[in-house]
Amino acid sequence: MKHIARKRFGQHFLADSATIEAIVRAIDPRPGQPMLEIGPGLAALTQPLVERLGRLAVVELDRDLAARLRGHGQLEVIESDVLKLDFRAVADRLAPAPGRLRVVGNLPYNISTPILFHLLPLADRIEDQYFMLQKEVIDRMVAAPATSAYGRLSVMLQWRYEMESVLFVPPQCFEPPPRVDSAVVCMRPLAKPPSVDPALLGQLVQLAFSQRRKLLRHSLGRWLDERGLTGQFDVQRRAEEVAVAEYVELARSLSPPP
């Protein structure tokens, strides 16, 4: 029975064989590697991945698709909302420490950014991540300072990952075709990321970019004063002019909020 893509799940199924082969080649799965696929859908990537791995765990919210996938003897199917999944528990089971988990997926474009932030605390247990995303989102992820695409997503991910856009995927590669261009990003956690309170860094960066057209003294000035900033930080700049390393260093220098 043909599965009809469900708009509420943001479903666009990869259907172009050449693109599928290129993605699998980029991922380069090896036998026995622990891997988790988010949003397997109609198994376009799932099947070539599991053929190379031997076993594969998948997370699928659509219960009809999950039921189909359970008939595959080499798959472990986790029927769950990805934003509610305890990824650390999954990683501990699939790749017991000190092992690391590989994560792949064609992420639902309507919740792709929340998923990336949901996975961020698990970076210490991740080998790498290969995700299909809206190209515009990947452009923001890898953006350099002083560019229009540079923002909160750039800072919060570049603090923790080395990232590269590895493949462009046009709309006609999907069924149904999305209204946007897509791409595949490779995310590798940094071996020695700067030590910083993620919550404090997140709050700082969110405030900084809340008024990105204004100088930082308007968005951050009072907040920095309240937290006892003792070092020098130039607030006569806009948020996109500040490099990732400088945001991290600023967060490290701040005293905890009262």
Per-residue pLDDT tens digits for 154-198: 999 999 999 999 999 999 999 889 899 999 999 999 999 999 999
Per-residue pLDDT tens digits for 59-99: 999 999 999 999 999 999 999 999 999 999 999 999 999 99
The reported pTM is: 0.91
What pLDDT score was predicted for residue 1? 45
Instruction: Answer yes or no: do 173 and 92 share one domain.
Output: yes
pLDDT band at 7 (very low <50, low <70, confident <90, very high): very low
* Structural domain total, the chain: 2
Residues of the chain with pLDDT > 90: what percent? 84
Q: What is the CATH number of the domain that holds 223?
A: 1.10.8.100
Instruction: Answer yes or no: do 86 and 213 share one domain.
Output: no
CA atoms within 13 A on the CB side of 209: 22
Instruction: Answer yes or no: do 129 and 58 share one domain.
Output: yes
Q: Which residues constitute the domain of residue 231?
A: 198-253
What is the distance of C-alpha 57 from the center of its chain? 18
Instruction: Answer yes or no: do 85 and 131 share one domain.
Output: yes
Is 47 within a domain?
Answer: yes
Q: Would you say 254 and 227 are in contact if contact means Cβ atoms under 8 Å apart?
A: yes
Partners of 14 in the β-ladder: 174
Rounded CA separation 1/21 (Å): 25
Is 2 within a domain?
Answer: no
